Amino acid sequence: MLIKDIYAATENLSPSNVIGQGIAGKVYRGVLANGWPVAVKHIVKNEHAETFLREVTSLSHIRHPNLVSLRGYYDGQEECFLVYELCTNGNLSEWLFGKDKNLSWIQRIRIALGCACGLWFLHIYPEGCIVHRDIKPTNILLGVDMEPKLSDFGLSRVMELGVSHVSSEVRGTFGYVDPEYRHNHKVNAAGDVYSFGMVLLQLLSGKRAINIMNTDKPMSLDKMASTLIQEGNVLEFADPRLNGNYSVEAFDVSLKLALSCTGTRSSGHPWSKLCRG
């Protein structure tokens, strides 16, 4: 993609078009010459060249309804750009924690299913398992029909066929990183499974991944859920904003699935049955 097309789409990177700010740079709303609405990530290359390379490597050749589409990119000497489809409903974090937004029970389940299908696709990719490494609500974008799309592949790793794991420094977001990965530095699909479990717990509860109200002894969301189960108070875990409008049976099944994800220590895919219907 030509640099002039990117600047034209974003009105010369106008501050009024900024829709996000990440570690690697700002994200701008734009419209390409063909009419496609896009989100353009601006990356300062000398600081985050690795992020750019990983995103292009992971997304340039794969397509799935639950993965954000890379429309194009520009690779310059000092700066580079990634051009994605624009997801008009923002990210999951805004809907879970925003004061003026709320998700119905059905929307939450559909988002969970879509995320699971996207991850399953990545993990069984024929050319090698793609591990995302940073699954969290801010990296789950929502399309026009609230369909989820996994985004931000700046930390992703591709494992060659037949390889069970790759060693790496611990990367990811506090509260979503598999404790075992923090201990052994082995990257594999199990790390994404754990992160997915934490996101599913958030969809059920509307709570943050870590309870920071008690700064002396913060409790992770999976520990909180396990405690409520042991005490027989499962429904206390439900997001009050659901107003009781959910299937108790489906809630119980979803909660157990989430805890199986945060408790699993294998490269299995507990969501494969969900994706197959």
Which pLDDT score is estimated for 266? 46
Residue ranges, the chain, pLDDT below 50: 266-267
Which pLDDT score is estimated for 44? 80
Among 134, 192, 222, 239, the active-site one is: 134
Which pLDDT score is estimated for 166? 64
Q: What is the pTM of this model?
A: 0.89
Which pLDDT score is estimated for 164? 56
Question: Is the Cβ–Cβ distance between 134 and 142 less than 8 Å?
Answer: no
**Does residue 239 carry a catalytic annotation?**
no
Residue 119: helix, strand or coil by DSSP? Answer: helix
What the chain holds in terms of domains, given with CATH numbers, is 3-85 (3.30.200.20), 92-275 (1.10.510.10)
Which pLDDT score is estimated for 270? 60
Distance of alpha carbon 179 from its chain centroid, rounded? 18
Using one digit for the tens of pLDDT, what is the confidence trace for 175-203?
A: 898 888 777 778 888 999 999 999 999 99
Distance of alpha carbon 172 from its chain centroid, rounded? 11
Which pLDDT score is estimated for 165? 57
Distance CA 198, CA 194 (A): 6
